[in-house]
Chain A
């Protein structure tokens, strides 16, 4: 069993039209089977990095290895059975039912013109179960609250039965209550051996569930290590450019702003 499920070697990404370089010569590894957090201020290149891990954007230089193989060598189907994405939000133009919406995640397992079958529906219900939305399965997604929306996108990704779950800022637009809910579910999922990578700008979220943290600043890898080592006042202050401090309460790590 490989130690690292993702291996990035010297990744650079520059936007074509604006010629702005978002990622500068990044090399990092993402460990297998644990929850990793991609931490950094706004604009540090987190989303772009996730796009590259997803295969949605191609880096200008460097290689992306997944399970030892080049990402681009995977077929679309193989890749989507391996990696799934929970986006930050999605425009909701049509009132699909929750069940239908989660079923969309079964696409990699169906032929191009195939329709979901009984087994797919079962799997979809399991996914709904794991986020606690089974009762609402026949409701329209447009009737969901913000927190519920995040959960339903998560359920869809779970229906995809991936080995790797990528989440793009899953809690950034949620209130504390919903944030807690989502993080708890992720923690639960992490126990089953799923590799989870989520990006966030909130160090508390990282502190809460991440075993491994990658700090990203201005498109460069700032630090990467186990969370217990990396979450120090000094590191956080340097990352955010604001005076931050860290303390431990019970088993949890609390981050707070230091007042003068």
Chain B
């Protein structure tokens, strides 16, 4: 008997189990996929007996796969948290100037001080938060439309500001380059993900994921009216700011390594909710796993399909756009969100 009003369709435990299984399989496949010894998937025996292949595995592929998983989980969970805290399923950090601020901060720091991971992280997080604050204050100064509309419009403006700021930085610093340097930041990619970069963001990302995971039930209540949250004994303003900051910091760290990779934070939470319902207790962890899986698939395809690397942001956008269309055209999708 099919009840279309059932909010939770599948048992969360099963979903998480199956997703973890799928992710493990994809990880295993990714380990043996690339351009060497041949384009595409190579047989494990060949890879494990070839010296160079083993080195490639250890030095290039494993850190890259781990980075994709970590960054995917962070971007998805940050997107999820943003959606809960703004009580709107149509936001993601990329909409509110957070991602662009992060890219701007990271690129600027590298330009000024060279590539020093700690400085880059700090600068990235700083400008990501500035982006968020700017979007907020700008939105409160608009005087038309509902709050969410204003926020998104402000976010567009702030994102544009930071993107063009990024372009300007690069141009002034190196006016003779062919603009290719910017494509990394604007289109994203993981070709520089090695053990060093992974370790540099591991701490912040794990902390971000852990804290958000711990708050997963509380997130539900924070998505309610501030007054109702207050009535339930919560300090909504403080907790929202805390979680926003943590989500932003995680996102910033991820973007400082991967460049601007969008759509993950928007689409994956939707998919997660479709699978296990809207309760964040389950939807958040599922988002994390799904995000990791999604980014891993995109990255593996991007680095193996052609001789030249396809930018990660392009692949996540293609997938994201497709899934978005599917979501929008299915009946019970966004409800009364807009």
Residues of A within 8 A of B (CB): 51, 54-56, 76-77, 79-81, 83-85, 87, 90-97, 100, 104-105, 107-108, 112-116, 138-143, 157, 160
Contact = CB atoms under 8 A, between A and B. Distances in A.
Please name the 6 residue pairs, one residue from A and one from B, whose CB atoms are nearest each other, closest first: A80-B233, A140-B7, A85-B231, A94-B278, A108-B233, A143-B5
Contact of B228 (A77, A90, A140): A90
Given A96-B7, A142-B335, A113 B230 contact: no
A93 B277 contact: no
B224 interface: yes
B217 A87 contact: no
B241 interface: no
A95 B227 contact: no
A94 B228 contact: no
Given A113-B215, A116-B217, A138-B6, A93 B233 contact: no
Contacts of A115: 217, 281
A85 B89 CA distance: 26
Nearest to A105: B232
B231 to A, nearest CB: 4
B337 interface: yes
13 contacts: A79-B233, A85-B228, A87-B227, A87-B228, A93-B89, A94-B89, A96-B220, A100-B220, A107-B234, A138-B6, A139-B3, A142-B335, A142-B336
B contact patch SS: loop
B88 A93 contact: yes
Interface of B: 3, 5-8, 84, 87-89, 214-215, 217-218, 220-221, 223-225, 227-228, 230-235, 273, 277-279, 281, 335-337
Given A113-B218, A140-B7, A93 B223 contact: yes
B290 to A, nearest CB: 17
Contacts of A143: 5
A92 B233 CA distance: 20
A115 B337 CA distance: 27
Nearest to A91: B87
Contact of A55 (B3, B214, B230): B230
A94 B279 CA distance: 8
A138 B8 contact: yes
B233 A91 contact: no
Contacts of A79: 233
Contacts of A94: 84, 87, 89, 220, 223, 273, 278
A90 B224 contact: yes
B288 to A, nearest CB: 17
A214 to B, nearest CB: 20
Contacts of B215: 113
A54 B230 contact: yes
Contacts of A87: 225, 227-228
A96 B232 contact: no
B233 A97 contact: no
A contact patch SS: mixed
Contacts of A113: 214-215, 218
Contact of B233 (A76, A96, A114, A142): A76
Nearest to B6: A138
B135 to A, nearest CB: 19
Nearest to A84: B231
B158 to A, nearest CB: 23
Nearest to A89: B225
Nearest to A83: B231
A160 B232 contact: yes
A102 to B, nearest CB: 12
A87 B224 CA distance: 11
Contacts of A114: 217
A95 B234 contact: no
Given A54-B230, A113-B215, 12 more contacts: A51-B227, A76-B235, A87-B225, A87-B228, A93-B223, A94-B273, A96-B220, A97-B279, A100-B278, A108-B233, A113-B214, A138-B7
A107 B231 CA distance: 10
Nearest to B84: A94
B277 A95 contact: yes
Given A94-B278, A97-B279, A104-B224, A140 B232 contact: no
A211 B6 CA distance: 40
A236 to B, nearest CB: 30
A115 B282 CA distance: 12
A56 B230 contact: yes
A139 B5 contact: yes
A98 to B, nearest CB: 9
Contact of A95 (B7, B214, B228): B7
A229 to B, nearest CB: 32
A96 B223 CA distance: 11
Contacts of B278: 94-96, 100, 140
A138 B5 CA distance: 8
Contacts of B234: 76, 107
Contact of B232 (A51, A95, A107): A107
B54 to A, nearest CB: 43
A139 B4 CA distance: 9
B227 A85 contact: yes
A107 B239 CA distance: 14
A93 B231 contact: no
A139 B8 CA distance: 8
Contacts of A92: 335-336
Contacts of A83: 231
Contacts of B232: 80, 84, 104-105, 107-108, 160
